[in-house]
A and B are shown apart, each in its own frame.
Chain A
């Protein structure tokens, strides 16, 4: 579906002088420095995948997405989406994709939502019955009904995002790009949107690529994660692998009947103790099953629970660069 090879995008950032005279000066003196927004990224995405494209601010996420959607022309590298080069065959390319770019709406700001949807139907040449069918389905999943006749500018952020999602999917695209689809939304709205994305991916087989800062989105939606930083790929694989490889291991929380003495267990270390509750970190590749019997050996255990490493923690550590050196080496 998507193949990206050694993708590069450099931006020349010019020093800008202000005003009309400054504008002329800008043309004459071009003081530029080059920013490597995307610096040699390669990956493939198969049809039907739901991929999280992650990275800290300024990592190059949006730039990659804009190249894949045909908005930007890359400096170097190869991109094929459904066999096409996005920026060369723009119209054919975008006919088969849907995109929602976070804070910006693709709808007509001053007019009721339904008018935008109706115009998009004509732009994408969606047959009338298919249009009705889709509208009914999206209404069921996203509850568009209450605000279809409201001008876009009067919608809440959550309503606007729902309307934009519907608009992006009216023409049954094979590919959906979402840039921060849940940014700024409350928990209920986030859940609804995640449910919708999942449903579209599972039931229609739509390939979805989403960038997000909300790791809840990642945990609830993405089986696969591609992570970039400073324009370079730092991880590409299953979410579970990410957790295992970069997580500091699971934590075992044990409630003993009486406060235990210092524990010495192979493959686990005590990280915290409060009265008769103890937190033990199991080494990243260690086994909980191997440790538990040792706990029962000397004392009575009242309760036991295992905490998976928080993906948030994992990602934070990757962003902070602690683990990149290991990966690169």
Chain B
């Protein structure tokens, strides 16, 4: 275990140093990423300040949800970045190299990239959360804070599961990546805002098909002390860790099937 951790940091270190080799490009992308995500945030803020509230949610509450989703997603992006453009690995046959090394495949996937340049979203999420806390001034006990931590971690784990599933599709068809993006980046967008602003069908998809609502929206309802407008029992707010762990394990199981279907490339 300790040896595994040490190797993990060694390999992540390699990725970070690799990224730093292109300093100009790194800085440019980091700044670009910060600007784009920042702009996105300003847009939401402007809209909210204009309308004060969206369907019973105050600005602060929406920003809290928005920040939580961004932090969860960016953590997932950071840790499972390799899965995000995995179709490239399949197309170029780079996955061969992973299979040739005496380390678990998943371990290598977790250490195959560490896109620090995507740091922008994490920064943006953190700032958003800071703003939300200043506005909300929540009176939380230790339980609340823990619950919130579990909510963020659950969200991150669930997004990781989606990334892994999206990558798995590449074993069968590398172009499926574009479809997978609907659920990764699309899912992140969905979970940034309260569920009731969406049409019923879309809401159902993200509640029952890809139950992202349970790792983000419902725990937030509990923390913000809001009733569920859709009448689900209160305890669903506590399902986050269960659903996240189940989703991640399921994704890994399907991923394993995919690995056995890996066809490599011509030569």
Give the residue of A23, A73, A94 whose beta carbon is less than 8 angstroms from that of B100. A94
Assembly CA distance A7 to B126 (angstroms): 55
Assembly CA distance A45 to B102 (angstroms): 23
**Interface code A87-104, partner B: CB below 8 Å = 1, 0 otherwise?**
100111011000101111
CB proximity to A under 8 Å, residues B152-175: 172-173, 175
Assembly CA distance A135 to B45 (angstroms): 59
The answer to whether A123 has its CB under 8 Å from any CB of chain B is: yes
Q: How many residues of A contact B (CB 8 A)?
A: 43
CB proximity to A under 8 Å, residues B228-267: 260, 262-264, 266-267
Taking A104-B97, A108-B14, A108-B18 as contacts, is the C-beta distance between A19 and B264 under 8 angstroms? no
Q: With a 10 A CB-CB cut-off, give which of B100, B176, B179, B263 has the most chain A CB atoms.
A: B100
**Interface code B73-98, partner A: CB below 8 Å = 1, 0 otherwise?**
00000000000000000000110110
**CB nearest to A63 among chain B residues:** B264
Does B260 contact A73, Cβ atoms closer than 8 Å?
A: yes
The answer to whether A187 has its CB under 8 Å from any CB of chain B is: no
Provide the residues of chain B in CB contact with A26, threshold 8 Å.
173, 175-176
Taking A26-B173, A91-B102, A119-B11 as contacts, is the C-beta distance between A101 and B178 under 8 angstroms? no
Does A16 contact B103, Cβ atoms closer than 8 Å?
A: no
Does A119 contact B10, Cβ atoms closer than 8 Å?
A: yes
Does B99 contact A18, Cβ atoms closer than 8 Å?
A: no
Provide the residues of chain B in CB contact with A103, threshold 8 Å.
267
Provide the residues of chain A in CB contact with B263, threshold 8 Å.
11, 72
**Interface code A61-99, partner B: CB below 8 Å = 1, 0 otherwise?**
010001001111100000000000001001110110001
Assembly CA distance A73 to B101 (angstroms): 16
Does B267 contact A102, Cβ atoms closer than 8 Å?
A: yes
**CB nearest to A91 among chain B residues:** B102
Give the residue of B94, B100, B178, B266 whose beta carbon is less than 8 angstroms from that of A62. B266
Does B14 contact A111, Cβ atoms closer than 8 Å?
A: yes
Assembly CA distance A23 to B209 (angstroms): 21
Does A110 contact B21, Cβ atoms closer than 8 Å?
A: yes
Assembly CA distance A172 to B220 (angstroms): 55
Taking A23-B178, A26-B173 as contacts, is the C-beta distance between A123 and B101 under 8 angstroms? yes
Taking A14-B173, A70-B99, A91-B103 as contacts, is the C-beta distance between A111 and B21 under 8 angstroms? yes
**Interface code A13-38, partner B: CB below 8 Å = 1, 0 otherwise?**
01010111011101100000000000
Does B175 contact A94, Cβ atoms closer than 8 Å?
A: no
Provide the residues of chain B in CB contact with A111, threshold 8 Å.
14, 17-18, 21
The answer to whether B56 has its CB under 8 Å from any CB of chain A is: no
Assembly CA distance A262 to B36 (angstroms): 88
**Interface code A198-236, partner B: CB below 8 Å = 1, 0 otherwise?**
000000000000000000000000000000000000000
Assembly CA distance A47 to B19 (angstroms): 42
Does B100 contact A69, Cβ atoms closer than 8 Å?
A: yes
The answer to whether A122 has its CB under 8 Å from any CB of chain B is: yes
The answer to whether B104 has its CB under 8 Å from any CB of chain A is: yes
Provide the residues of chain A in CB contact with B11, threshold 8 Å.
119
Does B96 contact A66, Cβ atoms closer than 8 Å?
A: yes
Assembly CA distance A55 to B69 (angstroms): 55
Give the residue of A23, A69, A101 whose beta carbon is less than 8 angstroms from that of B175. A23
The answer to whether A43 has its CB under 8 Å from any CB of chain B is: no
Give the residue of B93, B101, B176 whose beta carbon is less than 8 angstroms from that of A94. B101
Provide the residues of chain B in CB contact with A109, threshold 8 Å.
18
Does B93 contact A104, Cβ atoms closer than 8 Å?
A: yes
Assembly CA distance A195 to B96 (angstroms): 27
Provide the residues of chain A in CB contact with B104, threshold 8 Å.
91
Does B179 contact A62, Cβ atoms closer than 8 Å?
A: no
**CB nearest to A94 among chain B residues:** B102
Does B100 contact A106, Cβ atoms closer than 8 Å?
A: yes
Give the residue of A14, A71, A180 whose beta carbon is less than 8 angstroms from that of B264. A71
Provide the residues of chain A in CB contact with B47, threshold 8 Å.
none
Whole-angstrom distance between the Cβ of B53 and the nearest chain A Cβ = 36
**CB nearest to A9 among chain B residues:** B263
Assembly CA distance A71 to B94 (angstroms): 11
Provide the residues of chain B in CB contact with A99, threshold 8 Å.
100
Taking A20-B175, A22-B175, A106-B97 as contacts, is the C-beta distance between A124 and B102 under 8 angstroms? yes
**Interface code A106-146, partner B: CB below 8 Å = 1, 0 otherwise?**
10111100010001001110000000000000000000000
Assembly CA distance A18 to B178 (angstroms): 11
Does A151 contact B262, Cβ atoms closer than 8 Å?
A: no
**CB nearest to A22 among chain B residues:** B175
The answer to whether B49 has its CB under 8 Å from any CB of chain A is: no
The answer to whether B7 has its CB under 8 Å from any CB of chain A is: yes
Provide the residues of chain B in CB contact with A24, threshold 8 Å.
179
Does A27 contact B96, Cβ atoms closer than 8 Å?
A: no
CB proximity to A under 8 Å, residues B13-64: 14, 17-19, 21-22
**CB nearest to B99 among chain A residues:** A71
**CB nearest to B105 among chain A residues:** A90
Provide the residues of chain A in CB contact with B175, threshold 8 Å.
16, 18-20, 22-23, 26
Provide the residues of chain A in CB contact with B14, threshold 8 Å.
108, 111, 115, 119
Would you mind naming 25 contact pairs between A and B with Cβ atoms under 8 Å apart? A19-B178, A20-B175, A20-B179, A23-B176, A26-B173, A26-B176, A66-B96, A69-B100, A70-B100, A71-B100, A71-B264, A72-B262, A101-B96, A102-B267, A104-B96, A106-B100, A109-B18, A110-B21, A111-B18, A122-B6, A122-B10, A123-B7, A123-B103, A179-B267, A180-B267
Nearest 6 A/B pairs, CB to CB: A23-B175, A95-B102, A110-B18, A20-B178, A110-B21, A71-B99
